[in-house]
Amino acid sequence: MQPGVSVADPPLLGRQTPRILWAPPAPTSAADEAIELAADCGLILDPWQQLSLHHALGERPDGKWSAFEVGLCVPRQNGKSAIIEARILAGLLLFGEELITYSAHEFRTAMEIMRRLERLLIASGEKFMPTTSHGQEGFEMGTVKRQGQRVLFQSRTKAAGLGTSGDCIILDEAMWLAPEAIGVLMPTMAARPNPQLWYAGSSVDQEMHPKGHVFSGVRKRGMERSSPRLCYIEWSPDDGDDRADPKVWAKANPAMGLRPGFTVEYVADEFDAMRHTPKMFDVMRLGIGDWPTLADTLLPPIDGETWTGLTDTSPELAGPYPRVIAIDRAPLSKVWSIAGAQRRQDGRAQVEIGFNAKASPTEVIEKLLTIVTEADPAALIIDARSPAAFLKPQLIEAGIEPEMTNLSELAIACEGFLESSLAGQIRHSGQQILTESVAGAVKRDLPGGRFVWEGQPGACITQIMAATLAHYGLLTFGGPVKPAPPPMAAKQEMSLVGAEREFDPLNAPF
């Protein structure tokens, strides 16, 4: 135990008001009903938990939530989960929400919340039935009055969870939240009459949480008070507070002294146990985050000026057809992108998008068959983790054997595309769809210093993924680089084909 902390001291209670609070104005709140319902089911909320619900469930005069987004940041083991459970329970039994989706980084976290909610539903006396489908578990209400209402629980490590919608979506363990998850979820909520999106977690340590810039962005908007429909609530010390002062511990931990075992003595023991790892204590117990600098984390690796400088609308190509093609598909919008890569007379690689549209799998197969028949490419590349990967058996049946990249090969492809772009070894015709995709791509770090592309919130990286795979295929399967012809030969060749023309990849033979 630390000096100055005695079990004989009067109990020190956690502060019930947050250090950071930003909430939209709301003349009314649905929190009182939610708190009463939770209590009736045996869930008694602490004052700070009730306060959080009061602001999160504020209502506008038109009856809609005042906050579309709710961010809740509190150190571990304070009882954040109880707020989530009360919100889900009220959504099912009070607010009439048809679908509530809860996701966590870890599957065991999702299952623990599911078990707790099951106990609350049993205590409520409401009829419900368990459901299991596509990696998601949950409950569906069983009365005529609540027919069709359900709650789903899932882990974000399962790809099936990325496309789920809901009237209320709760993203727990938000420190681990990937940008692509938000990019996929946001459009799905547009059709909901009164949606609400929750981010719940503890402070971000950017070494431990490489994807922490999403939750960091929510926090930054809350601190700036720049989002009119964001409610952000955080318990943490003030800058300059003494991390060894028990009063500071109480400021950051609202449940201290209110819950069995969560005492000043226990936190003092934690402080002593982590004396050689002070950052761990600061992040996990005090909520002092090592928050990433958003301006750096969201900068595209290939900046707009560099990419524009690689534009060539009248390329001198080594042949009439792409040497390698690749395909990718957006997980939500179902847009397919087919890219081609081929050598130029100067030895560089030319990459273009030849097809970019929504289409059925049958239409895409037919398009690929046409390209392969006309162009006879050396390879068709698909990433094994891509939503386009399910085409493999159909392609094989049609007589096309695609090359499927694994995660290691995809990392090599992304690194190669970036390095070649920065070195000026890639050219393109300036297609807007590819330019926008490049601008929306950031790095997702992998172990060992490797990376693959991922999208910023709301961005589509399907086109850059297809172009990256095509470029990788050109380097891997495209054969040796042919030297550029001498200037005189190039001049004679140009005299045979006539004047230069602008290259139109979307009307090219691929």
Q: What is the pLDDT of residue 295?
A: 57
> Contact, 284 vs 75, CB < 8 A?
yes
Per-residue model confidence as pLDDT tens digits over 36-88: 999 999 999 999 999 999 999 999 999 999 999 999 999 999 999 999 999 99
HEC letters along 86-137:
HHHHHHHHCCCCCEEEEEECCHHHHHHHHHHHHHHHHHHCCCEEEEEECCEE
Q: Is the pTM here over 0.85, yes or no?
A: no
> Contact, 172 vs 200, CB < 8 A?
yes
Query: Residue 35: CB partners within 8 Å, gap ≥ 6?
Result: 45, 50, 53, 86
Q: Work out the percent of the chain whose per-residue pLDDT is above 90.
A: 71
* Confidence band of 145 (pLDDT split at 50, 70, 90): confident
Judge whether residue 161 has pLDDT over 70.
no
The token pair that represents 4 in the structure block: 């100055």
Pick from 189, 174, 169, 196: which is nearest to 26 by CA? Answer: 196
Per-residue model confidence as pLDDT tens digits over 209-234: 877 888 999 999 999 998 999 999 99
* Confidence band of 159 (pLDDT split at 50, 70, 90): very low
Distance CA 201, CA 284 (A): 11
Q: Which has more confidence, 505 or 492?
A: 505
Determine if residue 63 is left, alpha or beta; phi over 0 gives left, psi from -120 to 50 gives alpha, anything else beta: left
Q: Which has more confidence, 508 or 261?
A: 261
The amino acid at 285: R
Question: Which secondary structure element, helix H or strand E, spans residue 58, and what is its range?
Answer: strand 58-59
Distance CA 221, CA 225 (A): 6
With 0-12 CB in 10 A as exposed, 13-18 as middle and 19+ as buried, what is 281? buried
> Contact, 427 vs 312, CB < 8 A?
yes
Judge whether residue 6 has pLDDT over 60.
no
Pick from 71, 145, 161, 68: which is nearest to 110 by CA? Answer: 161
> Contact, 444 vs 451, CB < 8 A?
yes
Q: What is the pLDDT of residue 423?
A: 95
Q: What is the pLDDT of residue 294?
A: 65
Judge whether residue 32 has pLDDT over 70.
yes
Strand, coil or helix: 470: helix
Pick from 452, 381, 377, 458: which is nearest to 417 by CA? Answer: 452
Judge whether residue 489 has pLDDT over 60.
no
Domains and CATH numbers, the chain: 20-286 (3.40.50.300), 304-478 (3.30.420.240)
Q: What is the pLDDT of residue 495?
A: 30
Average pLDDT for 331-335: 81
Q: What is the pLDDT of residue 138?
A: 87
Highest-scoring range by mean pLDDT, 64-73, 99-108, 448-457: 64-73
Q: What is the pLDDT of residue 360?
A: 94
Q: Write b or e for each residue in 417-441: b if 16 or more Cβ atoms lie within 10 A of its Cβ, otherwise e.
A: bbebbeeebbbbbbbebbbebbbbb
* Confidence band of 487 (pLDDT split at 50, 70, 90): very low
Cα 119 to chain centroid distance, Å, stands at: 31
Q: What is the pLDDT of residue 148?
A: 80
Q: What is the pLDDT of residue 141?
A: 87
Q: What is the pLDDT of residue 450?
A: 86
Q: What is the pLDDT of residue 134?
A: 62
β-pairing verdict for 379-383 and 403-405: parallel
Judge whether residue 33 has pLDDT over 90.
yes
The token pair that represents 118 in the structure block: 């099951």
How far apart, in Å, are the Cα atoms of 203 and each of 199, 261, 289, 382, 455? 12, 22, 5, 38, 23
Q: What is the pLDDT of residue 500?
A: 36
- Backbone Cα Rg of the chain: 27
Average pLDDT for 232-254: 96
Judge whether residue 7 has pLDDT over 70.
no
Judge whether residue 406 has pLDDT over 90.
yes
Distance CA 102, CA 168 (A): 8
Judge whether residue 282 has pLDDT over 90.
yes
Per-residue model confidence as pLDDT tens digits over 163-190: 567 999 999 999 998 776 776 777 778 8
Distance CA 412, CA 420 (A): 12
Crossing angle of helices 213-224/179-188, nearest 10°? 70
Per-residue model confidence as pLDDT tens digits over 339-384: 999 999 999 999 999 999 999 999 999 999 999 999 999 999 999 9
Pick from 316, 456, 470: which is nearest to 388 by CA? Answer: 470
Distance CA 359, CA 187 (A): 19
Strand, coil or helix: 245: coil
Average pLDDT for 480-484: 53
With 0-12 CB in 10 A as exposed, 13-18 as middle and 19+ as buried, what is 11? exposed
Q: What is the pLDDT of residue 247?
A: 96
